[in-house]
């Protein structure tokens, strides 16, 4: 197997691109795919301040590494979710990654700051763990971005993640979700823009990127993910992909270019006017936001949002723990 670029020995074959790469040219390929996604969807500019949501897993560490490599100003945010046998270890990977590269990592711990963890919060709020977890993470992403003047929140969702979410939304004809499924969610009411620069790279490519560039990441899965529908959708799509490579990419990217416009209206209808949460001060269509209601039911304490310095070019106030080298 020879590298498509230099004809040297290849270490990875990418069937959907009908290409093999050596380590050096594989890294270059990944960087190019991220740059292409940033440009294609107009995600952010070189002088924007980026906050990368880091879990300690392959995708978030890889996207952080690639953005730094491409010359963007990107800090990290790790959220301790209080999930037994998982959160402590995944946090360690995130900290070690940041320390080894001299990068700035914000750390927010649900138990320390809000007085609850994901398993108990989910039980108390009668939500499934991933729903309570997602709600908590989204709130904290916004809070840390707002308080520290970040323009953009970056997540490590890859092509497989997005294709699986799209598949689920199509299976249930969730028009409103389909209207919102895009690699860029615009900024709104002071909340940062949200972007997914890995939408042109799949899961295997991200794992390979980590191995080739020596990034240690959390291999164990979150115990809460076992048996969820997201994994079933991935399995189903992988079966199709095995028989016809490239199907997943066409499914997702052609949805964006050809299918999504048909659903735009469904999104507009549901865009309710937002007010201010009486408890935390964040944006919400209700008196109290869903996150503060979750915190209250879980017996935790709410945290008031303090709007930080203005965006772009400002010096961040560091209110969270910093992992410095």
Partner 1 sequence: MIVELRNPTRTVEFDEAMSVAKLLNRLQVDRGAVLVICDGTLVPYDAKLPADAVVEIRSVISGGAA
Of the ranges 22-30, 126-134, 253-261, 300-308, which one interacts with ligand SF4 (CB under 6 A)? 126-134
From candidates 5, 111, 124, 130, binder to ligand SF4 by CB under 6 A: 130
Number of Cβ atoms within 10 Å of the Cβ of 297? 16
Which one of 28, 36, 88, 134 is in contact with ligand SF4 (CB under 6 A)?
134
Residue 306 touching partner 1 (CB under 8 A):
no
CB-count burial class (<10 Å; 0-12, 13-18, 19+) for 47: exposed
Q: Does 199 bind partner 1 (CB under 8 A)?
A: no
CB of 129 to partner 1, least distance (A): 9
| Torsion sign (Cα): 122, 221, 250, 197 | positive
Classify burial at 307, counting beta carbons within 10 Å of its beta carbon; exposed 0-12, middle 13-18, buried 19 or more: exposed
Q: Which stretch binds partner 1 (CB under 8 A): 62-70, 119-127, 189-197, 208-216?
A: 208-216
Burial state string for 228-250 with b = 16 or more CB within 10 A and e = fewer than 16: eeeeebbeebbeebeeeeebbbe
Contact code string over 207-226 relative to ligand SF4, x by CB under 6 A: ---------------x-xx-
Please tell me whether residue 23 binds partner 1 under the rule CB under 8 A: yes
Toward ligand SF4, which CB reaches closer, 12 or 133? 133
- 40 to 35, 43, 186, 259: CA distances (angstroms): 8, 8, 15, 17
What residues form DSSP beta bridges with 108?
A: 79
Closer CB to ligand SF4, residue 9 or residue 134? 134
- Pick the binder of partner 1 from 174, 228, 247, 319 (CB under 8 A): 228
In angstroms, the CA 128 to CA 6 distance is 49
* Shortest Cβ 220–ligand SF4 spacing (Å): 11
Q: How near is the Cβ of 264 to Zn ion at its closest, in Å?
A: 29
- Binding residues for ligand SF4, per CB under 6 A? 81, 118, 129-130, 133-134, 222, 224-225
């Amino acid at each position: 197997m020879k590298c498509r670029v230099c004809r040297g020995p290849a270490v990875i074959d990418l069937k959907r691109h009908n290409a093999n790469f050596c380590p050096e040219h594989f890294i270059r390929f990944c960087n190019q795919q991220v740059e292409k996604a940033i440009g294609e969807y107009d995600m952010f500019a070189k002088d924007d301040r980026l906050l990368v949501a880091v879990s300690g897993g392959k995708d978030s560490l890889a996207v952080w590494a690639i953005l730094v490599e491409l010359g963007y100003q990107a800090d990290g945010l790790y959220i301790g979710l209080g999930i037994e046998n998982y959160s402590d270890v995944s946090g360690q990977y995130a900290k070690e990654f940041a320390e080894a590269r001299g990068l700035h990592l914000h750390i927010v711990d649900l138990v320390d700051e809000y007085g609850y963890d994901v398993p108990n919060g989910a039980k108390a709020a009668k939500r499934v763990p991933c729903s309570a977890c997602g709600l908590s993470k989204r709130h904290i992403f916004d809070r840390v971005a707002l308080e520290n003047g970040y323009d953009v929140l970056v997540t490590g969702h890859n092509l497989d993640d997005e294709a699986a979410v799209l598949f689920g939304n199509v299976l249930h004809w969730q028009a409103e979700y389909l209207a919102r499924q895009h690699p860029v969610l615009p900024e709104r009411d002071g909340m940062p823009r949200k972007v997914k620069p890995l939408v042109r790279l799949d899961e295997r490519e991200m794992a390979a990127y980590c191995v080739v560039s020596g990034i240690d990441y959390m291999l164990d899965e979150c115990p809460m993910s076992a048996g969820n529908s997201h994994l079933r959708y991935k399995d189903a799509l992988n079966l199709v992909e095995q028989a016809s490579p490239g199907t997943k990419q066409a499914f997702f990217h052609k949805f964006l270019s050809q299918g999504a416009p048909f659903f735009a209206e469904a999104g507009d209808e549901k865009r309710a006017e937002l007010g201010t949460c009486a408890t935390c001060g964040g944006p919400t269509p209700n008196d109290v936001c869903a996150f503060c209601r979750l915190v209250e039911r879980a017996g935790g304490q709410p945290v008031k949002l303090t709007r930080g310095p203005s965006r772009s070019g400002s010096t961040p106030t560091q209110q969270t723990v910093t992992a410095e080298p």
